[in-house]
Amino acid sequence: MSHLFPEHQAPERGEGRRRNRQVHPDATAETEYAGPEAYAEHQVYDEHAAYDEHAEHAAYDEHAVYEDEPVYIEESAPSRRSRRVSKRVKRRRRTLAFLVVLALFAGVVFFVVQAVTPMLAGPSATDYPGPGHGSVSFVVPEGATGRTVATALTEQGVVGSDVAFLNALAAANASGSLQPGTFTMKLEMKAADAVTLLTAAGGDKVHYAAIDQNLRQSDVLPLLAKATGIDVTAFTALAATPATFGLPAEAKSLEGYLAPGEYRFPIEMTAQEILAQLVKTTTDELVSAGVTAPAEQYRVLTVASIIEAEGNADNYAMISGAIENRLNKANAETGGRLESDATVAYGLGIKTYNISDAQKADKSNPYNTFANPGLPAGPIGSPKMAAITAGAHPQANPYYFWVTVDLDTGETLYATTFAEHLKNVAKYTAWCTAHEGKCT
């Protein structure tokens, strides 16, 4: 058997193994003695010589170093088992680090949720257990939404919160079932019970209508039709027969008698019953102001409607006094004419503050108080009680002219002569110039 390394002689038996610092050319830089097993693959024995195991061990001095006989020891690389162990350790370390980071992240998320959730929670859904106590009259106005009703109910103490009512409304699938009307409810009701009451058919439900002062009959009748669901033609036909409602012969319609205010009509009321209620409200107010004769009521109502159109509550009595001066104390400048732009516009069927000279000269317009002396043919709108009172009880003053010089505040200036009046008109014109679009 040939030598593994022909340039070296194998050591003699019995002389012991020697470690040599010399590195075999084929060995790596990291090679060192790795024990008998590793050495054996490079050992060469005389196959004919008898091997004495005891002599071998007895002669071997593991600490001896023999410089003259090189022994080549190859350092082994880490075993597969040691590499597997090392990888498992690294994986455990990585897993442990990941778990630590995950725990820290979870802690941060928990803290953020606890801190931020209250800020994002929104309004409370507080609800009363019901059934409630006491009694309160609750109005659902025309055009009200579920949210506006919820707010009003909460403010009046009917339900515990807006959210509770809106949730109950959604649960009942009744968001579109709220109708205008007046309802008798309890304080501190359960939200679901409030929804049931407000969406129930019949019961205390009524038709709600809001009529502003100074509205014309042509505005009021469509408003009543919309509020009640009754066709507007039914109201129009009735308005053309004022005698049906006990009005004087001078009255050609219900103009002026359709009293402004908020109304809640029972749903079974007819068009005639509704109009009769409005007319009675006006006649009751005239009687309250000390005007009882039907013809005088018509006259005072006409004056009151002009006062309503020309001024505001602070000026009603003064304007009424100026009108009385023109009617009963006519002078050369006025000639008994009221000269009201509002009456001319009514007769023309328009709404404007600006009347042309041609329109003022048109005598065919029975409401033209520039061309025709005295009062117009009748009322020009629905006056409220304060205007009726002023029409019945004018404030004595020396004025014949008036003009509102600030349409926002209602500031009104008065004059005894036309020259003084023109100065006041110039102030009105200047205001209109400074407030473009408000004097049309």
Q: Which residues does the chain have with pLDDT short of 50?
A: 1-51, 53-69, 73, 117-121, 202
- Asked whether the bond before 131 is cis by omega within 30 degrees of 0, the reply is yes
Q: Are 127 and 160 in contact (CB under 8 A)?
A: yes
C-beta pairs of 420-429 under 8 Å, 24+ apart in sequence: 428/403, 428/404
**pLDDT at 36 (0 to 100):** 44
Question: pLDDT tens digit string along 290-331?
Answer: 999 999 999 999 999 999 999 999 999 999 999 999 999 988
Q: What is the pTM of this model?
A: 0.60
Q: Give the Cα separation of 74 and 381 in Å (integer).
A: 121
**pLDDT at 309 (0 to 100):** 93
Domains, in order of start, for the chain: 133-204 (3.30.1490.480), 217-397 (no CATH)
Which has the closest alpha carbon to 175: 154, 156, 155, 148? 148
**pLDDT at 362 (0 to 100):** 96
**pLDDT at 56 (0 to 100):** 46
Q: Give the Cα separation of 148 and 12 in Å (integer).
A: 113
Kindly state the tokens that stand for 80. Answer: 């597969």
Residues 6+ apart with CB under 8 A from 355: 341, 344, 345, 370
Kindly state the tokens that stand for 120. Answer: 């994002």
Phi, psi of 254 (to 5 degrees): -95, 10
**pLDDT at 2 (0 to 100):** 44
What is the pLDDT of the chain when averaged over all its residues?
A: 81
**pLDDT at 221 (0 to 100):** 97
Q: Are 143 and 101 in contact (CB under 8 A)?
A: no
**316-328 and 294-310 helices, crossing angle to 10°:** 120
Q: Are 180 and 210 in contact (CB under 8 A)?
A: no
Beta bridge partners of 207: 265
